[in-house]
């Protein structure tokens, strides 16, 4: 958090500086033309628009935050459904519920949002942005188009091409600032506005497309300007300029690199060859940025590129700082990787300097012996007090005070895919005892989330998505037994293909089921979609029930809604299909009682 504030402060210092430098023309003796002044004005409009959006979101976010805080305080240590306070918070505000239903939580059109469009099992063509996301992106695009055309002199051929060329060029570099800022996992807006990295990633991709289009338009204006003014000789001029001028040469390299980035970044490529995509992407970005830097030599707009580079540099430094902070000092971080049934591994990390474990955290894992230069995001599923791997016994948890101590081990459950995770699984499986130890580095934690202000919490998970929900279950049961939350009912719905997947979290479930007062609050519903026999599906107790097949998400939510206590949080982490079902089921019912929807996606 401190890091985010620092970087934000730095950014806040850099941006106006960059803008001011751009408008004053740096130190060069330079008198801006009328068209130049117009471009500066448009840069200012753009910057003000960004500031206004951030400010509006900030107010929205912190109002919600405050509301949740009040709701939690009001319901500490009070009774259940007969209590007027919980009842008060279970009633939705009609207008806000409508907005949530038709805008904030809405998919673009009907139902589809995170279920991928697939050409085949391996070819992922992408997902559809949500309705609000789409509106934002269209709005931004419209603004950029408007800024590209207003106050351009359409009557005079020469000034039309000159104005158009300069305008598109200026806007392209200006947009590089948010483009670079939003690409980072340490982007302070994530924490400040409570918007997830995958949303910023979406915006990053679209601003990137806008930058490429503007850069291409910039080139096109230049070329067609030459041809329009000089006819056949224009082509000759272009050739001469390409060969002789550094300005034109670097511009050409830059625009080619931009086009290269556009061509190598569609969803299909990204998802199929993520590591290759990432490395080529970074290499092309370096080429493009370097070329644009030289291209803008002695022009005030170079300050924009500088601001973008500074955003990038701060983000990289923060990553490095997190890596050093977590993994050094007290030895280095060690990982034990254990193969589990059902194509998964459990990674137990003895982190050199552990942090305060909270639900909703994820880390980036580096494991040089498995994949050099790779880092992959994983949710932290569990944390324990342990001094060494050899001392398996867990310390008695007195008041189940999971809040107090810093944890020394952090555990992940990782499902085998085809790259890094596959290597990890194969290596563990072929090691003696099905496990191996190695040096690892963790970068994080990123994100956190609390449902403690909700009276009723429904957690949906499919497969390995359970890693996101287990910490919530532990957090809520512990907070309940300590009288520290508004939560009175927790329902965990976990959909798995076969009962062997239960192994993934068995030791943790045993601990949770042994927690104080858990029977009063927790219900677990397991759905086995491909049981080998009906004998496999049996319900051990009233609070843990097993069913064959897939759940009817709507019916499950409806059932809890009928006896809802306080406000309800519905969270989902799993396949895009499940997430879309839960989203729809929540939207269909959120006008009857207070209900919020939360989605955690494991991809972008
Ligand atoms: C916030 C978050 C939390 C996650 N938590 C878990 C978890 O607890 N358990 C779990 O099993 N999985 C989790 N994932 C998914 C996990 O990161 C990917 O399955 C893993 O990176 C795949 O690695 P691979 O090389 O085997 O991938 P591949 O088989 O090569 O690709 C599989 C998919 O993973 C995506 N992917 C690959 N590398 C990365 C990367 N570095 N960053 C982002 N996406 C990538 C690709 O786009 C592709 O769609 C999480 C993802 C995110 C974003
Ligand atoms: C376009 O930009 C260049 C470089 O800053 C400048 O020299 C030129 O005067 C500008 N032309 C117009 C029409 O704005």
Query: Does 502 sit in the ligand 2 pocket, CB within 6 Å?
Result: no
371-379/362-367 β-pairing: antiparallel
Q: Which residues of 284-304 are buried (b: 16+ CB within 10 A; e: fewer)?
A: bbebbbbbbbbbbeebbbbbb
Select from 127, 199, 274 the residue to mutate for testing ligand 1; criterion: most ligand atoms less than 8 Å from CB.
274
Q: Return the residue matching tokens 């902070």.
A: 325
Record the tokens describing residue 250, joined without a space: 């670097």
So what's the pLDDT on residue 6?
53
Most ligand 1 atoms within 8 A of CB, residue of 199, 362, 377, 601 to mutate = 377
- Lowest average pLDDT, out of 102-106, 317-321, 366-370, 399-403, goes to 399-403
Distance of alpha carbon 143 from alpha carbon 149, whole angstroms: 10
Q: Mean of the pLDDT values across residues 298-318?
A: 96
- Cα(49) to ligand 2 centroid in Å equals 25
Strand order in the sheet with 371-379: 371-379, 362-367, 441-446
213-237: per-residue pLDDT in tens? 999 999 999 999 999 988 888 888 8
The larger pLDDT score, comparing residue 116 to residue 337, is at 337
Give the nearest ligand 2 atom to 35 CA.
14
Ligand 1 pocket residue status of 362, Cβ below 6 Å: yes
The number of beta carbons lying within 10 Å of the beta carbon of residue 194 is 16
Residue 16 or 543, more confident:
543
Q: State residue 397's pLDDT score.
A: 45
* Residue with CA nearest ligand 1 atom 17: 377
Residue 394: pLDDT above 50? Answer: no
For ligand 1, say whether the CB of 421 is within 6 Å of any of its atoms: yes
Q: What is the DSSP letter of 448?
A: -
Residue 166 CB–ligand 2 contact under 6 Å: yes
Decide if pLDDT at 405 tops 50. Answer: no
Residue 9, pLDDT score: 54
**pLDDT band at residue 111 using 50, 70 and 90 as cut-offs:** confident
Question: In angstroms, how far apart are the furthest CA atoms of the chain?
Answer: 86
- Topology at the third CATH level for domain 328-446: Elongation Factor Tu (Ef-tu); domain 3 (2.40.30)
The pLDDT tens digits of the residues spanning 165-182 come to: 999 999 999 999 999 999
Predicted confidence at residue 372, as pLDDT, reads 87
Residue 98: predicted pLDDT: 95
Mean pLDDT on 307-328: 95
Ligand index nearest the alpha carbon of residue 153: 2
Ligand nearest to the CA of 34: 2
Cβ–ligand 2 contact at 247 (below 6 Å): no
**CATH architecture for residues 34-110+125-150+449-604:** 3-Layer(aba) Sandwich (3.40)
Q: Tell me: cis bond preceding 445? Omega within 30 of 0 counts.
A: yes
From 36, 245, 248, 302, give the residue whose CB has the most ligand 2 atoms within 8 Å, as the site to mutate.
36
What letter would DSSP give residue 77?
A: T
Q: What atom in ligand 1 is closest to the CA of residue 270?
A: 47
Q: Which two tokens stand for residue 319?
A: 């990553």
* Of 283, 288, 193, 307, nearest in space to 250 by CA: 288
Task: Please report which ligand is nearest the Cα atom of 449.
Answer: 1
User: Once rounded to an integer, what is the mean pLDDT over residues 450-458?
Assistant: 97
* Residues 97/591, Cβ–Cβ less than 8 Å: yes
| More confidently predicted of 543 and 434 | 434
Read off the pLDDT of residues 472-507 as tens digits, 9 standing for 90 and up.
999 999 999 999 999 999 999 999 999 999 999 999
46-55 tens-digit pLDDT: 999 999 999 9
Average pLDDT of span 3-26 = 54
**In this predicted structure, what is the pLDDT of residue 513?**
95
Question: Is the pLDDT at 13 greater than 80, yes or no?
Answer: no
Q: For 287-329, give the DSSP string.
A: HHHHHHHHHTTTSTTHHHHHHHHHHHHHHHHHHHHHHHHHHSS
162 lines ligand 2 (CB under 6 A): yes
Q: What is the pLDDT of residue 393?
A: 44
Residue to mutate (ligand 2; options 29, 35, 40, 155; most atoms within 8 A of CB)? 35
- pTM for the whole structure: 0.92
Torsion of CA 74, 75, 81, 87, to 10 degrees: 30
User: How many A from CA of 283 to the centre of ligand 1?
Assistant: 22
Whether the CB of 189 sits within 6 Å of ligand 1: no
- Residue by residue, what is the 3-state secondary structure of 234-294? HHHHHHHHHHHCHHHHHHHHHHHHHHHHHHHCCHHHHHHCHHHHHHHHHHHHHHHHHHHHH
Does residue 359 surpass a pLDDT of 80?
yes
Q: Where are the domains of the chain?
A: 1-32+154-320, 34-110+125-150+449-604, 328-446
**What is the overall mean pLDDT for the chain?**
89
Average pLDDT over residues 188-206: 95
pLDDT at 44 over 50: yes
Q: Judge if the beta carbon of residue 292 lies within 6 A of ligand 2.
A: no
Q: Is the pLDDT of residue 10 over 90?
A: no
Residue with CA closest to ligand 1 atom 20: 376
Q: Is 377 in the pocket of ligand 1 (CB under 6 A)?
A: yes
Element (H, E) at 376: strand 371-379
Q: Is the pLDDT of residue 599 over 80?
A: yes
Residues present in the chain in total: 604
Question: Is residue 582 within 8 Å of 459, Cβ to Cβ?
Answer: no
């Amino acid at each position: 958090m401190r890091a985010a504030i620092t970087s934000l402060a730095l950014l806040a210092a850099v941006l106006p500086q960059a803008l001011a430098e751009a408008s004053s023309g740096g130190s060069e003796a330079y008198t801006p033309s009328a068209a130049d002044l117009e471009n500066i004005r448009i840069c200012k409009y753009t910057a003000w628009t960004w500031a206004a959006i951030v400010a509006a979101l900030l107010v929205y976010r912190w109002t919600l935050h405050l509301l949740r805080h009040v709701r939690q305080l009001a319901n500490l240590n009070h009774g259940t459904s007969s209590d007027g306070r919980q009842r008060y918070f279970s009633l939705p505000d009609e207008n806000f519920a409508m907005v949530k239903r038709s805008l904030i939580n809405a998919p673009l059109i009907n139902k589809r949002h995170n279920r991928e469009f697939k050409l085949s099992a391996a070819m992922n063509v992408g997902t559809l942005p949500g309705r609000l996301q789409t509106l934002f992106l269209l709005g931004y695009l419209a603004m950029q188009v408007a800024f590209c055309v207003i106050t351009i002199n359409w009557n005079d051929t020469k000034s039309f091409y000159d104005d158009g060329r300069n305008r598109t060029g200026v806007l392209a570099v200006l947009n590089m600032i948010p483009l670079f800022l939003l690409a980072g996992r340490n982007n302070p807006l994530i924490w400040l506005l409570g918007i997830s990295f995958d949303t910023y990633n979406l915006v990053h991709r679209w601003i990137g497309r806008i930058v490429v289009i503007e850069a291409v338009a910039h080139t096109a204006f230049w070329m067609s300007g030459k041809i329009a003014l000089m006819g056949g000789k224009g082509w000759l001029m272009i050739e001469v300029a390409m060969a002789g001028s550094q300005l034109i040469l670097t511009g050409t390299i830059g625009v080619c690199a931009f086009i290269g980035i556009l061509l190598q970044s569609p969803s299909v490529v990204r998802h199929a060859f993520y590591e290759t995509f990432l490395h080529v992407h970074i290499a092309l970005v370096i080429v493009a940025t370097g070329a644009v830097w030289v291209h803008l030599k002695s022009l005030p707009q170079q300050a924009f590129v500088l601001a973008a580079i500074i955003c990038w540099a701060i983000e990289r430094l923060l990553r490095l700082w997190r890596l050093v902070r977590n993994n050094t000092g007290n030895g280095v971080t060690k990982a034990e990787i254990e193969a589990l049934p059902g194509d998964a591994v459990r990674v137990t990390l003895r982190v050199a300097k552990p942090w305060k474990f909270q639900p909703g955290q994820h880390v980036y894992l580096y494991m040089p012996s498995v994949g050099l230069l790779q880092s992959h995001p994983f949710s932290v599923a569990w944390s324990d007090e342990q001094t060494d791997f050899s001392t398996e016994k867990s310390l008695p948890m007195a008041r189940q005070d999971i809040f107090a101590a810093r944890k020394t081990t952090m555990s992940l459950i990782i499902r085998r895919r085809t790259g890094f995770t596959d290597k990890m699984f194969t290596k563990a499986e072929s090691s003696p005892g099905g496990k191996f130890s190695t040096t690892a580095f963790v970068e994080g934690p990123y994100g956190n989330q609390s449902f403690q202000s909700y009276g009723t919490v429904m957690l949906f998970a499919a497969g390995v998505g359970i890693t996101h929900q287990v910490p919530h279950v532990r957090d809520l049961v512990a907070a309940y037994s300590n009288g520290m939350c508004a939560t009175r009912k927790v329902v965990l719905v976990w959909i798995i293909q076969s009962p062997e997947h239960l192994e993934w979290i068995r030791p943790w479930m045993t601990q949770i089921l042994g927690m104080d007062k858990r029977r009063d609050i927790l219900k677990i519903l397991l759905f086995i979609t491909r049981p080998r026999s009906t004998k496999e599906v049996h319900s051990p107790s009233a609070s843990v029930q097993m069913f064959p097949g897939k759940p009817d998400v709507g019916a499950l939510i409806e059932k809890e809604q009928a006896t809802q206590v306080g406000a309800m949080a519905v969270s989902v982490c799993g396949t895009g299909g499940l997430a879309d079902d839960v989203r729809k089921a929540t939207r269909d019912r959120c006008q009857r009682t207070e209900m919020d929807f939360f989605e955690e996606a494991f991809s972008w």
